[in-house]
Amino acid sequence: MVEAESSKEVSNAIFSRDVDKKREDYLEWTDYFMATAFLAAKRSKDPCSQVGACIVNQEKRIVGVGYNGMPFGCSDDEYPWKKASTSRLETKYLYVCHAEMNAILNKNCSDVKNCTIYVALFPCNECAKLIIQSGISEVVYMSDKHSAKEETIAAKRMFDSAGIKYWQYVPKRKQITIDFTEIDWNRMTQLPPTPLKETK
Ligand SMILES: O=c1ccn([C@H]2C[C@H](O)[C@@H](COP(=O)(O)O)O2)c(=O)[nH]1
Ligand SMILES: [Zn+2]
């Protein structure tokens, strides 16, 4: 009996310590903004590359989010998603709006001067022009898988000339899980609620 009481006290102490103190495993700003870009990418219908972009102002407010997709009025069920065809007109490349372009056009403020853009993939030359002309001053990217392509080389050349800072994001964690049921978890045990017993 005495033993049981004391182990209860110990577990209470552990739980109260965990819920009384500031969380340590919260998302840092950079992870949060890059994760927002990746979440936006989940909306993309592109079967090969889902790209997301998130624009953040100097007050760390998100001012624009976008992903690669077909323009308004151009049905993503009708326009092609193919990478190659006998005619370029039958490929996605002539139609798809890039994530960076959509994020800039979706901005909810008058301009994006001195903002930072978080992107899943290093921007192509066309997006680089838009980034420069819109006044964005910093690019944080995850993948540089097309670094050997002329588009990427040209983009970097233009960023260097325009004084745009760019750096590769190295995630501290490989995955971030979003679990919609977590909000109902037990705050003390961090466990899902015990399933209700079926009543006859
Ligand atoms: O700066 C960029 C470059 C590319 N995208 C989009 C455009 C396309 O939908 C895909 C690229 O398709 P691949 O099959 O990998 O060639 O990525 C973008 O949004 N931003
Ligand atoms: Zn692009």
Q: What pLDDT was estimated at residue 199?
A: 60
| Residue linked to tokens 């936006």 | 40
Nearest to 38 by CA among 199, 176, 136, 184: 176
Q: Report CA(192)–ligand 2 centroid distance (Å).
A: 42
Q: Closest-lying ligand to the alpha carbon of 126?
A: 2
Q: Report CA(179)–ligand 1 centroid distance (Å).
A: 28
User: Is residue 100 among the annotated active site residues?
Assistant: yes
DSSP letter assigned to residue 149? S
Output the CA–CA distances (angstroms, integers) from residue 186 to 10, 19, 116, 183, 191, in the order listed: 18, 11, 37, 8, 5
pLDDT tens digits for range 4-23: 445 555 455 445 556 788 98
- Mutation pick for ligand 1 pocket among 45, 51, 104 (CB with most ligand atoms within 8 Å): 51
For the Cβ of 96 lying below 6 angstroms from any atom of ligand 1, the answer is yes
Atom in ligand 1 nearest the alpha carbon of residue 83? 14
Q: How far is CA 42 from the centre of its chain?
A: 9
Catalytic, out of 100, 150, 151, 198: 100
Q: Report CA(169)–ligand 2 centroid distance (Å).
A: 18
Task: Give helix then strand counts, H and E, for the chain.
Answer: 5, 5
Atom in ligand 1 nearest the alpha carbon of residue 155? 1
> Which residues surround the ion ligand 2 when the cut-off is CB under 5 Å?
98, 124, 126-127
Q: What pLDDT was estimated at residue 176?
A: 94
Mean pLDDT, 10 residues at a time, over the chain (200 residues)? 50 58 92 98 97 98 98 98 98 98 96 97 98 98 97 98 98 91 79 66
- Prediction ipTM score: 0.98
Q: What pLDDT was estimated at residue 104?
A: 98
Residues 81 and 92 sit within 8 Å (Cβ to Cβ): yes
pLDDT tens digits for range 107-136: 999 999 999 999 999 999 999 999 999 999
What are the residue ranges of helices labelled H in the chain?
A: 2-20, 29-41, 99-105, 125-134, 150-162
33: three-class secondary structure by DSSP: helix
